[in-house]
Amino acid sequence: MPPYVQELSRGDDAGYFAEGSAVWEVHRSIATLVAGPRALLMQALHPGAMAGVHDHSRYREDPLGRLNGTIRWITTVTYGSRAQAEGASTWVRHLHERVRGRYTTGDGREVDYAAQDADLVSWVHIAFADSFLRAFQRYSDRPIPGGADAYVRDWAIAGELMGVPDPPRSVAGLEQRLAAIRDAGLLRADDRVHEAVRFIRRPPLPRALRPTYPPLYRGAVATLPDWARTMLRQRPVLPVEETATRLVLRSTARLLGEAAAPGQARIRLRALEERDAARRSGSAA
């Protein structure tokens, strides 16, 4: 168990998201194995986000290192105390301070960028929320507590921690924001994007994981909007491919069992309940 997961058992408050909340339910689902590649595919369509990855990331040399950093942030914000969530977000924002450069938009304009620009952090947040929501809806048999709007509304808190101005708080708002960015002509799929797509499609995974990844990737493509799939030059997903995706997810869920992070968070929550009960008992006496 990574040290940051063990740290989730400590802390002085319940965190931003309650046990059993929409965020807990979506992020503990095995469908996140599809949501991750899907989010990367969507994020790559924004030339600013793609430029930041291309110019400053070591994703080709150390793909698992970059992935682990993202997982650490998601896990800590989802299951940690407020102080832990804020600390993890500050850490990521600090890493982003040096990510600057220049890119060409879909309509041909040259634009200077910084990773913490409002449009870039907004796009990354929107692509993430949409991907995790759509993957869960497609590949999980469980309902979202409070419905899909609850997930978008609650995860907006994570967006605010990362500096996103006015993140969407409903599915309708999320869809409107996606459509506005698409219709503005900001997105593009050039050679740099197609190179990244090839990497996402065939990452250098350990040999034992290679047979299970293609169905997860195709499952991610199946959840893309048609316009995004077309831009990324991905063919439609066949029903037999989605069947393979579901089989891999089910077998992986049986193999892995319950994720460690929610369990560690529950240790903290039970300790807080016991502390509060003891204080109430002392006050009554």
What pLDDT sits at residue 207? 86
Note the pLDDT of residue 205: 83
For 246-262, what is each residue's pLDDT tens digit?
Answer: 999 999 999 888 888 99
Picking from 74, 67, 84, 96, the residue whose alpha carbon sits closest to that of residue 26 is 74
Q: Which two tokens stand for residue 204?
A: 């250098």
- How many angstroms separate the CA atoms of 116 and 99, rounded? 8
Whole-Å CA distances, 60 to 33, 168, 232: 20, 32, 19
Averaged pLDDT for residues 163-178:
96
Please write the tens of the pLDDT for every residue from 208-261: 888 999 999 999 999 999 999 999 999 999 999 999 999 999 999 998 888 889
pLDDT (tens digit per residue) in 4-15: 999 999 999 999
Across 96-116, b (16+ Cβ under 10 Å) vs e yields: beebbeebebbeeeeeebebe
pLDDT of amino acid 154: 97
Residue 282 belongs to a domain: no
Out of 43-47, 113-117, 150-154, 178-182, the most confident range is 150-154
Q: What is the pLDDT of residue 75?
A: 95
Domain-located, residue 284: no
Is 179 domain-assigned?
yes
The answer as to whether 283 is a domain residue is no
64-90 confidence digits (pLDDT tens): 556 778 899 999 999 999 999 999 999
Domain of residue 121 covers 3-276
Within 8 A by CB and 6+ apart from 232, the residues are 41, 44, 45, 189, 193, 194, 197, 221, 224
Q: Which residue has the higher pLDDT, 107 or 122?
A: 122
Answer whether residue 172 is part of any domain: yes
DSSP, collapsed to helix, strand or coil, labels residue 147 as coil
Q: What would the two tokens of residue 69 be?
A: 């950093």
pLDDT at residue 210 in the model: 87
Asked whether residue 120 is assigned to any structural domain, the reply reads: yes
Which runs of consecutive H residues, i.e. helices, occur in 162-238? Answer: 171-183, 191-201, 213-222, 226-231
The pLDDT value recorded for residue 61 is 57
Report how far residue 139's alpha carbon sits from residue 103's, in angstroms, rounded to the nearest whole number.
35
Query: How many angstroms separate the CA atoms of 267 and 203, rounded?
Result: 35
Residues 6 or more apart whose CB falls under 8 angstroms from that of 38 comprise 131, 134, 135, 220, 221, 223, 224
Least confident range from 159-163, 245-249, 258-262, 280-284: namely 280-284
Position 63 pLDDT exceeds 60: no
How many distinct structural domains can be found in the chain? 1
For residue 68, what pLDDT is reported?
79
> In whole angstroms, what is the distance from residue 247 CA to residue 265 CA?
29
The answer to whether residue 78 sits within a structural domain is: yes
Contact 259, 3 (CB under 8 A): no
H or E, element range at 111: strand 110-114
Considering only 43-47, 57-61, 228-232, 253-257, which range has the smallest mean pLDDT? 57-61
